[in-house]
Amino acid sequence: MDAIRILGGVPLTGEITIGGAKNAALPLMAATLLTDQPLTLINMPELVDITTMSNLLRQHGARIDQSALAPGSVEAGPTGRSMTLTTDKVTSVTAPYDLVRRMRAGFFVLGPLLARTGEAKVSLPGGCAIGTRGVDLHLKALETLGAKITVKEGYVYATVTGGRFKGANVTFPKVTVGGTENLLMAAVLADGDTTLENAAREPEIGNLAECLNAMGAKITGIGSGTLKITGVKTLHGARVAVIPDRIETGTYAIAAAITRGRIVLKGTRYELLEAVFDSMRRAGVSVEVTSDGIVVSAQGQLTGVDMATEPYPGFPTDLQAQWMALMATASGAGMIAETIFENRFMHVPELRRMGADVNVHGASAIVRGPSKLSGAPVMATDLRASSSLILAGLAADGETLVNRIYHLDRGYERLEEKLGACGARIERIVGH
Ligand code: UD1
C-alpha cells in the first residue's frame, strides 16, 4: 500500500486549482439511471471513488465516455475533464456488495433504480469507518413514497407497487445528505407531488437538484430545508457543471494557515465555505476574495477558537480533522464539538503522536496549543483523517510518514503534486 513522506516546516506559497466536488459528482453520476438520454457532467474530478461509481453504473447498463478538454475552458470547467453517461436500458437492478462496500455513495443508485424500473437489490454500504452510518432514514422515506423493502443477507431488496412511486410528504427526523439525494432522485419520476421537509441544504444537493431540473424535473425550494417536487413522466439528457470541491478548498486553505504561508485558491467559491473562513479569520488567518481567487495567508501566532460541526451552512464535519491539526498549532484552547458522526476522532491518537495536545470527552475534543509538532510515522484511518495527518506533517519538524493512504486517493486528486507546486517537500512512496 502507498505511503506519503513529508519533510515539514516549509511555509507553502503558490496557487492551487480546486477540482470538481467528489460528493457532488457521485450523485450526479447516479442520475444517469433516470433517463435513456446522455447526461454530460463537466468539471469532473479524477478520483478512485469516481472510478468505483463508474464501474457500478456500467454494470447497471450505463455507457460512460470520458473526455479531456483544455482545463479552464468554458466547455470543460477548471479540471478540463468531462464525462458523458448514457443508460439506454437498465440491464441489472443489483448493486453488488463488492462495489458498494468500497464507497457509501454506491447506495445512491437505490432511489433512481426504483424510480426507473420499480425494483432494486442494493448492498448495504461501506465507506469510511466513522460511525454506524445507517441507511434507515433513506429506507423509511422511500417506503413513504410506496417502496416495499426488506433487508436480508446484507442486501436491501426493494420494489415499488405498480412500478411508480406515489408523491408524499416526507419529514426527515435528522438531516441526511445522502438520504435527501436518494429521495430527490426517487421523487422526480413519482406520480404526484412530494415535499421533503428538514432536507439537507448542502451545496451538493443544490447541484443535483439543478441537474435534475435541467433534465426536465420540477423541483423548487432549492437551497432551503423544504424541497417540493412535482413528478414528471420522463427525464431527458442535460449538460451540467460539477461545483467546486469545498472540502478540498478548505483542506488547502488550512495548508496555507498551518504552514504560515500564502496560497491562492483558484476555481472555487467563497460562499461554499463561509463557516470555515469565518472560523479561520477568528483564529487570525487572513482570507481575501480577489479577482485571482481566494487568498489565504497566515503569519506568526494564531489563536485557538471553538467550533462545532453542523449540517450546511455550518462547519462541515469533513473538515473537522484538518481543523484539529490547525488548532494544535494555535495558542490557547480550541474546543471541537462533533455533532454529525459519533466516531470521528480516530485521528486524535495519531495527532498526539506528533505532539498535539488533544483531550476527547465524548463527542467533544479540546485542543491546547501551541504545540511544536514533530514528524512521526502515522497511520491514516479514513479519508479526512488522512489529510489531517498530512497537514500536521507539513507543519511539523522533520519527517512524517503517513501510511495506509488508500482513502486519500478516494477524495483528493494529485494532492502531492498540488502541495509540491507550493513548495511542500512531499512524495508518494509506492507499495510501502
Ligand atoms: C455525506 C457525505 C460525507 C459527509 C456527510 C455529512 C457524500 C458521498 N458523503 O455522507 O462526506 O461527511 O454527508 O456531511 O456526500 N444517518 C442515519 N441514518 C441514515 C442516514 C444517515 O442514522 O439513514 C446518520 C449518519 O450516521 C450520520 C448523520 O445521519 O450520523 C448524517 O449522515 P448523512 O448526512 O446521511 O451523511 P452521508 O450522506 O452518508
CA of residue 389 to ligand 1 center, whole Å:
23
Backbone dihedral region for residue 39 (phi beyond 0: left; psi -120 to 50: alpha; all else: beta): beta
Look up residue 383 and give its amino acid.
L
Residue pair 123/377 in contact (Cβ under 8 Å)? The answer is no
Grid cell 448495504 is found at 124
How is residue 313 annotated by DSSP? T
383 closest CA partner among 149, 103, 137, 119:
103
Burial class (CB in 10 A: 0-12, 13-18, 19+), 356: buried
CA 33/CA 110 separation, integer angstroms: 10
95 closest CA partner among 58, 65, 46:
58
Residue 317 Cβ inside 6 Å of ligand 1? The answer reads: yes
Ligand 1 atom, smallest distance to 174 CA: 29
Q: Which of 4, 44, 128, 158 is catalytic?
A: 128
Question: In whole angstroms, what separates CA 168 from the centre of its chain?
Answer: 28
Reply yes or no: is the peptide bond before residue 112 cis, omega within 30 of 0. Answer: no
Residue 105 Cβ inside 6 Å of ligand 1? The answer reads: yes
Residue 137 Cβ inside 6 Å of ligand 1? The answer reads: yes
pLDDT digit string (tens) for the chain, length 432 residues: 789 999 999 999 999 999 999 999 999 999 999 999 999 999 999 999 999 999 999 999 999 999 877 777 777 677 778 999 999 999 999 999 999 988 888 999 999 999 999 999 999 986 445 445 689 999 999 999 999 999 998 899 999 999 999 999 999 999 999 999 999 999 999 999 999 999 999 999 999 999 999 999 999 999 999 999 999 999 999 999 999 999 999 999 999 999 999 999 999 999 999 999 999 999 999 999 999 999 999 999 999 999 999 999 999 999 999 999 999 999 999 999 999 998 789 999 999 999 999 999 999 999 999 999 999 999 988 888 899 999 999 999 999 999 988 888 889 999 999 999 999 999 999 887
Ligand 1 atom, smallest distance to 103 CA: 8
Total residues found in the chain within this entry? 432
Ligand 1 atom, smallest distance to 49 CA: 8
Query: Hey, whose CA ends up nearest to atom 24 of ligand 1?
Result: 133
CA 131/CA 343 separation, integer angstroms: 5
The pTM of this model reads 0.96
Across-strand partners of 264?
A: 15, 295
**Is residue 422 annotated as a catalytic residue, yes or no?**
no
CA of residue 224 to ligand 1 center, whole Å:
18
52 closest CA partner among 415, 412, 410:
410
CA 110/CA 275 separation, integer angstroms: 32
Q: What does the pLDDT read at residue 140?
A: 95
Residue pair 357/333 in contact (Cβ under 8 Å)? The answer is no
Residue 173 Cβ inside 6 Å of ligand 1? The answer reads: no
Joined together, the cell numbers standing for residue 180 give: 435527501
Ligand 1 atom, smallest distance to 312 CA: 14
- DSSP calls for 14-62: EEEE--B-HHHHHHHHHGGGG-SS-EEEES----HHHHHHHHHHHHTT-
CA 29/CA 88 separation, integer angstroms: 15
Ligand 1 atom, smallest distance to 140 CA: 23
294 closest CA partner among 274, 316, 317:
274
350 closest CA partner among 319, 373, 320, 327:
373
Which element (helix H / strand E) includes 209?
helix 203-214
Residue 341 Cβ inside 6 Å of ligand 1? The answer reads: yes
Q: What does the pLDDT read at residue 101?
A: 86
Residue 315 Cβ inside 6 Å of ligand 1? The answer reads: no
Residue 214 phi/psi, 5° resolution? -65, -25
170 closest CA partner among 220, 217, 225, 214:
225
Largest Cα separation within the chain, whole Å, is 66
The set of long-range contacts for 144-149, using a CB threshold of 8 Å and a minimum separation of 24, is 144/168, 144/169, 144/170, 145/170, 145/183, 145/186, 145/187, 145/190, 145/194, 147/114, 147/186
CA of residue 340 to ligand 1 center, whole Å:
8
Query: Hey, whose CA ends up nearest to atom 7 of ligand 1?
Result: 23
Q: Which of 53, 176, 387, 410 best tests ligand 1's pocket when mutated (most atoms within 8 Å of CB)?
A: 176
120 closest CA partner among 149, 143, 153:
149
Residue 407 Cβ inside 6 Å of ligand 1? The answer reads: no
129 closest CA partner among 406, 430, 354:
406
Query: Hey, whose CA ends up nearest to atom 37 of ligand 1?
Result: 178
Query: Hey, whose CA ends up nearest to atom 20 of ligand 1?
Result: 135
Residue 318 Cβ inside 6 Å of ligand 1? The answer reads: yes
